[in-house]
Structure formats: structure tokens, C-alpha cells
Amino acid sequence: MMKKPDFSAQRELATRAKVTPNGVAVGSVTANGVASGSVTPNGVASASVTPNGVATDAPCTRCGGREYLVTRGEELAEAVVCECRATCAKCKGARYVIAREGVYDVAVPCDCAALHRRVRAFNDARIPAGYADKRLTPSGPNDLHGFSDRKSESLKRAKAAVHRYRISVDASQAQGLLLIGGFGVGKTHLVCGLVSYLTLERGIGCRFVDYHELMARIRATFDRKDETENEAAIIEPLVQVPVLVIDDLGKGQGSNWELTILDQIITRRYNARRIILATTNYRPESEGGGESDKRRGLESLEERIGGRLVSRLQASCEFMVLDVDDYRKTGPKAAR
């Protein structure tokens, strides 16, 4: 069989190695096909050894093997790659490794690239600092980190429901979710736990917005009309993000104009089959909102955000009523 000419193999190598799947230019492949990135400056390959020369079998005591740490920032929860993975022994920070594919060497993303992407996804989600420690763990509904001090029956049900939801995400069958319940139920805790899971464990892009703040931002663009934050600049990221979380839906009265913009976000997401996770204190009429709640001085969700928006949500979300005793009255500390 005829030997393939060397130059074509090299050209193929150079072309394919130029840009990694995550868009990082490589260009460090030598003429003889050896990637310079896989060798340390002193010429010693060291993929199986950490920077300090210790083999990496024992789980890290800082992160417990999760490879990231989550802390409370000033306003937002912040994730960082743990020190144990900060300098990747495999790729030396290049985020790609050279692998053999048939007769060619190609640049493929290093395992650490996904970790960095997951951490970035968590930070981009903008979870409030107070919910930094809320996590869903794979082991089961009674093992939600940050919830261990809560004993109420309804919260147990809520946790089980969110755990079910997590499993449907794993099976790629998830639809949206509207968590409905009074103050102190733990809706925001649960939804933040879900966001942590979706970003840090699954690498799915999420964005958390508080309904009241979102309305204020939309209103501000109308008043200000500046170039940096116009209407489209607010709406587009909220339409495009794979999972949008709207906390406290219906809190504070939105004007018709503000609700029209919210409608636009929700309708466009619905048409693109993108997931919405939302929480609300107001029951939709289909869940007993309105007349019965009115005696307790509560409007229905329809009265807060309009029937059209509620039916859009109904078409794209599972409505989950967390009909709970008020945790604030019984629990050790206030929560919502």
C-alpha cells in the first residue's frame, strides 16, 4: 500500500489543530507533529502528577472531590475552580490535549475545560449570595444541602418533587416548573439548588432574575433611554439563556407595558422550547387561586400578571403547589 505523503498529513494536522472546539487557538504544533503544550518547559511530561509532584488519588479535602468551591460573594454566590484543579496536570492550563485520531494528532478539549465552563455557568446564573450553599445532591431528596434544619412535611414533599424534577432533567425530559406557595416555604432555596445542580453538575446555562428587579430594570430603560442598557439588551439574554429562573413572579404591580415585555420574554422562550423555572406567592386560578385565597387577602396569579401570561406558563411549566404551613412561624430562621 502506498504511504500517505508526509506533507499532507502535516497540513491536515495543522488545520485541525489550529482551533480547539472551545475556540481557543492552538498553533503550537511543531513540524514533526509533536504538540509543545503536552510537555513542561523543562521537557518532562507530567500528566499523572500534580504540580507539587504528588499523585492525585486521594479526594481533595477542600472540595471533597467536587473540584469547585462555592462562596458567598458580596451580592452574588460565586464559584471557583478548586486549587486541586486550578493548575491542570494534564494540559498545564491549555484546556486542550493532543490525542491520536487514526493517523493524525488532533487537539481535543481537556477534561478541565468542562469544569471551567461549569463554574462559569454558575457565576453567569447570578444566584443571590444568600443562597450560595443551596445544592441538590445526587443521593436523594432528603439530602439537599442547606435544608437539613427544616422538618416540615410540606417541605419534604417539595424536596421530593424537586428531586423528581432533577431526574427528569437528567433524562432530558424536563419542562418548566412553577413553584407556588406562601412566604417561608423555601421556594427560592429549592430553585437555587436546582440552578446550582444544572450549572455546576450539568454545565447548562441558567440565569436567575428577581421579578421585581426585572420590572424595575425594564422601567429604567424606558425612563433613561441610554445606549448601554436598552430594552433589547435586557430581553435578549433572558430569551436566549437555556434556563431562565424568575423568582417571586407577580411581586409588586407591573404596568401593562412592563407585563407586555415579560410576555414577550415568556412567549419567545415558549416558542423556542426553552425552560422557565419560576416561583410565586400567588396561586393560579387552576390551583385554587382567586376566590378561596381572597378571603386571606391574596389575589390570584392571573390578577397579578394577567391571564394570557398564566396560560403561557401553564403550557410550558409543571405547576407545583407547595401548600405549606408558614415556615417563618415555626422554623428557626426566616426564609422564603
The residues that touch Zn ion, with contacts defined as CB under 5 A, are 60, 62-63, 82, 84, 88, 90-91, 110, 112
The kind and range of the H/E element at 246 are strand 243-247
Q: Are 122 and 128 in contact (CB under 8 A)?
A: no
DSSP H stretches of helix in the chain:
6-18, 83-86, 111-125, 153-170, 187-196, 211-224, 231-240, 256-271, 291-294, 301-305, 307-316, 327-330
Shortest approach of Zn ion to residue 4 CB, angstroms? 31
Shortest approach of Zn ion to residue 46 CB, angstroms? 12
Shortest approach of Zn ion to residue 31 CB, angstroms? 25
User: Which letter does DSSP use for residue 43 in this model?
Assistant: S
Cβ atoms within 10 A of the Cβ of 180, count? 23
User: Dihedrals φ, ψ of 80, to 5°?
Assistant: -135, 155
Q: Which is nearer to Zn ion, 47 or 232 (CB)?
A: 47
Burial class (CB in 10 A: 0-12, 13-18, 19+), 176: buried
User: Dihedrals φ, ψ of 6, to 5°?
Assistant: -60, -40
Identify any residues that bridge with 71 across adjacent strands, giving them in sequence order: 78
User: Dihedrals φ, ψ of 324, to 5°?
Assistant: -120, 150
Q: Which is nearer to Zn ion, 106 or 275 (CB)?
A: 106
Q: Which is nearer to Zn ion, 79 or 112 (CB)?
A: 112
User: Dihedrals φ, ψ of 17, to 5°?
Assistant: -85, -10
Shortest approach of Zn ion to residue 96 CB, angstroms? 8
Q: Which is nearer to Zn ion, 88 or 209 (CB)?
A: 88
Shortest approach of Zn ion to residue 91 CB, angstroms? 3
CA atoms within 13 A on the CB side of 48: 0
Q: How far apart are CA 85 and CA 251, in angstroms?
A: 42
Q: Which is nearer to Zn ion, 71 or 255 (CB)?
A: 71
Q: Which is nearer to Zn ion, 112 or 275 (CB)?
A: 112
Question: What count of residues does the chain have?
Answer: 336
Strands 243-247 and 206-210: parallel
Shortest approach of Zn ion to residue 131 CB, angstroms? 22
Q: Which is nearer to Zn ion, 84 or 127 (CB)?
A: 84
Percent composition of the chain: helix, strand, coil (DSSP 3-state, to 5): 40, 15, 45
Shortest approach of Zn ion to residue 82 CB, angstroms? 3
Shortest approach of Zn ion to residue 79 CB, angstroms? 13
3-state secondary structure (DSSP) of residue 135: strand
Q: Which is nearer to Zn ion, 24 or 63 (CB)?
A: 63
Q: Which is nearer to Zn ion, 14 or 63 (CB)?
A: 63
Shortest approach of Zn ion to residue 192 CB, angstroms? 22
